[in-house]
Chain A
Amino acid sequence: MSIVLKNISKSYGSIQVFNDFNLEITKNQITCILGASGVGKTTLLNILLGLVEVDSGQVLGLEGKKIVAVFQEDRLVESLSSIKNVQLACNNKVTRTKLIDEFNKVGLGGFEDRPVSELSGGMKRRVAILRAVLSESDVIVMDEPFKGLDVELKSKIIEYVKDKTRNKTVIIVTHSLAEVKELEANKVDLTFTKNNHSVIMNEY
Chain B
Amino acid sequence: MNRQARTKENLYKVFAILFWLVIWQVIAMIIDREMLLASPIAVIKALANLLTTSVFWQSLASSFRKIVLGFLTGTLFGVFIAVISYRFLLLRELFEPLIKVIKSTPVASFIIIALIWVGSANLSVLISFLMVVPVIYTNTLRGLCEIDTKLLEMSHVFRVSWLKRARYIYIPEVMPYFISAVSVGLGFCWKSGVAAEVIGLPKNSIGEALYEAKIYLMTKELFAWTIVIILISVLFERIIMALLKWIQKQLLL
Contact = CB atoms under 8 A, between A and B. Distances in A.
B169 A77 contact: yes
Nearest to A69: B157
Given A71-B150, A75-B153, A66 B159 contact: yes
Interface in A131-178: 131, 135
B168 interface: yes
Contact of B151 (A75, A81, A84, A115): A75
A95 interface: no
Contacts of B164: 88
Interface string B145-159: 000001101110111
B41 to A, nearest CB: 50
Prevailing SS type, chain B contact patch? helix
B154 A71 contact: yes
Interface centre among A66, A81, A89, A131 (most CB of B within 10 A): A89
Interface residues of A, number: 19
A67 B154 CA distance: 11
B12 to A, nearest CB: 32
Given A80-B168, A84-B168, A88-B164, A51 B252 contact: no
B187 interface: no
A20 interface: no
Given A67-B157, A71-B154, A84-B252, 17 more contacts: A51-B153, A66-B159, A68-B157, A75-B150, A75-B153, A75-B154, A77-B151, A80-B168, A80-B252, A81-B252, A84-B168, A88-B155, A88-B158, A88-B160, A88-B164, A89-B158, A131-B158
16 contacts: A51-B153, A51-B157, A68-B157, A68-B158, A75-B151, A75-B153, A77-B168, A79-B172, A80-B172, A84-B168, A84-B252, A88-B164, A88-B168, A115-B252, A131-B158, A135-B158
Interface of A: 49, 51, 66-69, 71, 73, 75, 77, 79-81, 84, 88-89, 115, 131, 135
